[in-house]
Amino acid sequence: RLELKYGAQYTGKRTDAAMNKWRSNRFGQFIHWGLYAIPGGVWNGKTYNYAAEFLKSSAHISTATWDSLMYKFNPKKFNAKEWAKMAKKMGVKYMTITTKHHEGFCLWPSRYTDFNISNTPYKKDILKEIVDAYNAEGIDVNFYYSVLDWHNPDWRYDIKSKEDSIAFRRYLDFAENQLKELATNYPTVKAFWFDGTWDASVKKNGWWTLEVEKMLKSVRPGVIINSRLRADDYGSRHKDSNGELMGDYESGYERRLPDPVKDIKVTSWDWEACMTIPENQWGYHQDWSISHVKSPLELLEMLVHATSMGGNFLLNFGPKGDGSIRSEEQNIAKTIGDWMAVNGQVIYNCDYAGLKKQDWGYFTREKGSNQLNMVIFNVPVSGLLHVDVPKGMILKKAHFLTTPGQQIKVEEIAKNQYLLHMPIKLYTSPQVIVVECDNGKENANKYQDAKT
C-alpha cells in the first residue's frame, strides 16, 4: 500500500443519515440548463450533431461571442414550481442541477464573477427559485459544478510554466470561493456533483480536490461528494493509487450502466449512473432526430437495473432557453411516473438482493425485508421464471404486487432452485412479483448432487 496524503479518506459505505437518505432516494432528475440552451445545437443556421452544451467548441465560437448570449438569457416560460411538480409526478426523490457548466455561466448571483444570472435580463437568483420549488415538493437538491471553465482566463488545461501555475492557482481559489458560496447560501443542498476534472491541471493538484471536499463538509456537515472531484498524490482519479474509492460514491457511470453479471463488485460501494435521453445530449438540442431517443421503457429498465445493483439512477432533462420542457421529456416523466406511483416500493430504499441475475429481469430487496422483489421485463414464453437462491434461502408465497390476493405458484425444482409460474398472457408494462422468503432455515437436503 502507498502512503497517500490526498487519497481515500475512508473505506466502505457511509452509513450516516444523510448518506442513507441519498441511497434510499435511488431515482434522481439531472438538469442541464445554461446559455447553451438558447442556441440548442444550431448556430448560423447550421445544426451541429455533437452534444448541444459543447456548441461553443463544435461551432468554433469565440468566448466573446458565446458570452454575449448572457444578454439574451430571459426564460419567459420558466416556472420552477411546474418543473418541480413534473419531477414529483415522475417519482424522483432528488434533483441535480448545473450551477455552472463548462461554459462558466453561473445560474446564481456569484460574487466572484460577473458572468452570472444577475447580469441577464432575468436578473433574479434563478437557482434559489429552483431549489425552493423542489424542496417544497420534498425533493432533495444537489449541485453540479464544472471545474473546467471556458470563460475564466485563469483556467488551464495543463501546467507548463510558472505563469500557468500562478494563473491556475488563482483559478483554484476562485472555484473554491464559488463552492463555499454555494454551500453557504443554499443551506439545503445535499450533495455536490463535480465534473470537468479530467485535465492534467487538476490531476497535478490533488491536494486542492481534497481541500475542497473538506471545506464543503465543514460548511455543510453531511454533504455528499462524488468521486469525480478527486485526484490523489499521483493524479489517480475516482479511485486512489491503492484502488480505494475517493469521495462518497462512484460517479463514473455516464451514459452507461454496470454489467449485471461482470460488474457485480459495484454492489460493494455506493454509485450513481447518469443518463441522457438521446444518445449524447445533456443541454437542450433543437433536433433530436439526429440520434436514437430512449423510450420511457428503456429508461425505466435502467432505473430498475441500477437499483438491482445497489446504485442510483440520474435521468437528464435539458430545458429550453425559454424555460419550457420539451414534449418528449414531459411524456417520459409522465410514463415513468405512472409506473413509479404503483411500483415505487421496489425502487425506493431498495438494494442489491444478493441473487444471481436471471434473463427475465431484476431482483431488488428493501433493507432488512423478508420480501424479494422481482421486476420482469422479459416474460419467458414458458411463463416459468427461474430463481437461483443463496444457500439457506427459502421462497414461500408469491403474488403480483398489484394483486396480493392472487397467488403465483412457487415450485422448488432442485437444491436452491425454484420456478415461479407466471400466467401466460400479453404484458405491456414491467411486471412486479413480490416473494416472501425465509433466510433462516436450512432447507431439507432432499436433493442428490449428480456424480460426474
Ligand X SMILES: C[C@@H]1N[C@@H](C(=O)NCc2ccccc2)[C@H](O)[C@@H]1O
Specify the residue, 274 or 372, whose C-beta has the smaller distance to ligand X.
274
Q: Does 54 bind ligand X (CB under 6 A)?
A: yes
Beta strands in 148-237 (DSSP E): 191-195, 224-225
CA distance 330 to 89: 10
Q: Does 150 bind ligand X (CB under 6 A)?
A: no
CB of 282 to ligand X, least distance (A): 4
CB of 280 to ligand X, least distance (A): 8
* Cβ distance to ligand X smaller for residue 88 or 102: 102
Q: Could you give the strand order of the β-sheet that contains 361-366, starting from the edge strand earlier in sequence?
A: 350-351, 361-366, 371-376, 431-438, 394-400
What minimum distance in Å lies between the beta carbon of 168 and ligand X?
A: 17
Q: Among residues 195 and 272, whose Cβ is nearest to ligand X?
A: 195
Nearer to ligand X, 314 or 432 (CB): 314
Nearer to ligand X, 206 or 318 (CB): 318
Burial of 364 (0-12, 13-18, 19+ CB in 10 A): buried
Nearer residue to ligand X within complex by CB, 55 or 385 = 55
In contact, 14 and 247? CB cutoff 8 Å: no
Which residue in 67, 103, 195, 366 binds ligand X (CB under 6 A)? 195
- CB 46 → ligand X: shortest distance, Å? 19
Site for ligand X in 255-274 (CB under 6 A): 274
Write down the least CB distance from residue 420 to ligand X, Å. 39
**Residues 214, 206: Cα–Cα separation, whole Å:** 13
Binding-site member from 132, 164, 199, 254 for ligand X (CB under 6 A): 254
- Nearest CB to ligand X, comparing residues 193 and 400: 193
Instruction: Write down the least CB distance from residue 39 to ligand X, Å.
Output: 15
CB of 103 to ligand X, least distance (A): 10
Under rule CB under 6 A, residue 53 binds ligand X: yes
DSSP string of 34-76, one letter each residue: SGGGTTTTEETTEE--S-GGGHHHHTT--HHHHHGGGGG---T
Chain position whose Cβ is nearest to ligand X? 282
Minimum CB separation of residue 351 from ligand X in Å reads 25
How far does Cα 318 stand from its chain's mean position? 15
Query: What residues contact 245, with CB distance under 8 A and at least 6 apart?
Result: 8, 11, 227, 238, 239, 269
Give the nearest distance from C-beta 56 to ligand X in angstroms: 10
- Set of cell numbers at residue 444: 431439507
Q: What is the number of helices (H) and of strands (E) in the chain?
A: 10, 18
Nearest to 418 by CA among 372, 366, 370: 372
Residue type at position 360 = W
Residue type for position 97: I
Residue 140 interacts with ligand X (CB under 6 A): yes or no: no
Of residues 273 through 312, those in contact with ligand X by CB under 6 A are 274, 282
Interface with ligand X: number of residues (CB under 6 A): 8
Closest of 113, 81, 86 to residue 100, by C-alpha = 113
67-106 binders of ligand X (CB under 6 A): 102
Residue 436 engages ligand X in binding (rule: CB under 6 A): no
Q: Is 250 in the site for ligand X (CB under 6 A)?
A: no
Residue 366 in the binding site for ligand X (CB under 6 A): no
Binds ligand X (CB under 6 A): choice among 19, 37, 38, 51: 51
In the bound complex, what is the minimum distance in angstroms from residue 275's beta carbon to ligand X? 10
| Candidate ranges 46-54, 173-181, 300-308, 440-448; the one touching ligand X (CB under 6 A) | 46-54
Map residue 170 onto helix, strand or coil. helix
- Identify which of residues 145 and 363 has a Cβ nearer to ligand X in the complex: 145
Residue 424 to residues 25, 140, 144, 407, 417: CA-CA distances in angstroms? 34, 41, 46, 14, 21
Strands 417-421, 384-388: pairing kind: antiparallel
Nearest to ligand X of 168, 282 (CB atom):
282
Q: How far is the CB of 53 from ligand X (least distance, A)?
A: 5
Cβ-based burial of 107 (10 A; exposed 0-12, middle 13-18, buried ≥19) = buried
For ligand X, give the closer residue by CB, 100 or 305: 100
For residue 176, give the H/E element and its range: helix 162-185
Contact residues toward ligand X (CB under 6 A) are 51, 53-54, 102, 195, 254, 274, 282
